[in-house]
Amino acid sequence: MNGAAESIAIDVEGLTKSFGTKKVVDNLSMRVERGAIYGFLGPNGSGKTTTIRMLCGLLTPDAGRGTCLGYDILTQRDEIKPRVGYMTQKFSLYGDLTIRENLEFVARIYGLPDPEGAAQKSLERLGLQDRADQLAAELSGGWKQRLALGACVLPDPALLLLDEPTAGVDPKARRDFWDEIHRLAGEGLTVLVSTHYMDEAERCHKVAYIAGGRLLVSGAIPDILREAGLTTYIVTGPDLAELSRRLSSLPVVEMVALFGTTLHVSSRDAAQLDTIAKEFGEGAPQIWTKGEPTLEDVFIDLMIRDGGAPA
């Protein structure tokens, strides 16, 4: 491989996959640089899991081409699999084995020369030593995810594919998990992670957003925010639900969304939105304040424009 190719972990073009008559992934192209944390976002059913499985050789695309870690995803899947750590949405280790036994079992599956030593090293790296003899079924969600991550990195992969890794995990466990992800990336590991959480997306170096199996936007977050071209007002005060309904009927308003006690109102026509803010704010109990569009504003707008509805 040349230098440019060696700097790219994932490079795919036109990936397409259907199940029966349903096209789950539709002409998707993406590129992930080595050593990057790449966020993969989209609503449920958008094709994220199917894409991840095509990347690591578990599914064959109906159309498209590309490489993963320099290996062809169509013809060299057996070379890709041992070099990738894949963490599924559902905890897939054995509940009736201890943490240590699970790690030793995984080490033997990968044919590591010293399974016991590899498991011990993983226990120490992830802070699991004190729980080594605890049954996996007895662990909380956060500790199960930490164990699953430990199993993924046992064979020293070059790429981690994480599919909704922190779903159902408490905030502290999510933060600890992401600290570990950044540490691993700092050691040169490439990470592709699907997530629904905007705070997690903002911890990625780059993100991609897909809906209906199609890539809608990708890149660094500051670039995505800038290229979206949205002007956003933050509205506070009473009766925000009613105000939201009134604003949604205005053609110039492209996105209206309630966030707790605030209402985000966005448009690509800054002048028109300024006029609306002045008209609706004058003499009204609500206060309109111009703010910066958030990543969530942009993704909700993308969903609306793509024909979906924010969940």
CA angle 170, 173, 176 (to 5 degrees): 150
Closest CA to 211 of 28, 12, 18, 19: 28
CA-CA distance, 178 to 110, in Å (whole number)?
Answer: 25
User: Is residue 60 domain-resident?
Assistant: yes
User: Is residue 238 domain-resident?
Assistant: yes
Give the domain-ending residue among 224, 253, 272: 224
User: Is residue 148 domain-resident?
Assistant: yes
Per DSSP, the residues of 3-15 read HHHHTEEEEEEEE
Looking at the structure, tell me whether residues 205 and 253 fall in a common domain: no
- Least confident range from 55-69, 83-97, 285-299: namely 83-97
Find the mean pLDDT for residues 5-15: 89
Give the domain CATH number at 265: 3.30.70.920
Find the mean pLDDT for residues 22-43: 94
Looking at the structure, tell me whether residues 171 and 203 fall in a common domain: yes
Asked if 297 and 266 touch (Cβ cutoff 8 Å), the reply is yes
pLDDT tens figures, 221-236: 999 999 999 999 999 9
Looking at the structure, tell me whether residues 201 and 260 fall in a common domain: no
Closest CA to 212 of 23, 51, 81, 69: 23
Looking at the structure, tell me whether residues 271 and 154 fall in a common domain: no
User: Is residue 208 domain-resident?
Assistant: yes
Residue 227's φ and ψ, nearest 5 degrees, are -70, -20
Q: For residue 268, what are the domain limits?
A: 230-292
Looking at the structure, tell me whether residues 235 and 220 fall in a common domain: no
Give the domain-ending residue among 172, 199, 224: 224
Looking at the structure, tell me whether residues 152 and 123 fall in a common domain: yes
Q: What mean pLDDT, rounded, does the chain reach?
A: 90
Strands 71-72, 63-68: pairing is antiparallel
Find the mean pLDDT for residues 161-178: 87
Residue 199 has pLDDT above 90, yes or no: no
User: Is residue 307 very low, low, confident or very high in pLDDT (cuts 50, 70, 90)?
Assistant: low
User: Is residue 29 domain-resident?
Assistant: yes
Give the domain CATH number at 82: 3.40.50.300
DSSP state of 135: B
Residue 36 has pLDDT above 90, yes or no: yes
Number of domains composing the chain = 2
Residue 310 has pLDDT above 50, yes or no: no
3-state secondary structure of 33: strand
User: Is residue 300 domain-resident?
Assistant: no
User: Is residue 306 domain-resident?
Assistant: no
Give the domain-ending residue among 174, 203, 224: 224
Looking at the structure, tell me whether residues 41 and 113 fall in a common domain: yes
Tokens at residue 215, please? Answer: 């890539």
Looking at the structure, tell me whether residues 136 and 280 fall in a common domain: no
Looking at the structure, tell me whether residues 203 and 107 fall in a common domain: yes
Looking at the structure, tell me whether residues 142 and 281 fall in a common domain: no
Looking at the structure, tell me whether residues 72 and 164 fall in a common domain: yes
* pLDDT number for residue 126: 79
User: Is residue 143 domain-resident?
Assistant: yes
Looking at the structure, tell me whether residues 54 and 141 fall in a common domain: yes
C-alpha distances (whole Å) from 115 to each of 107, 127, 160, 237, 246 are 5, 18, 21, 60, 63
User: Is residue 308 very low, low, confident or very high in pLDDT (cuts 50, 70, 90)?
Assistant: low
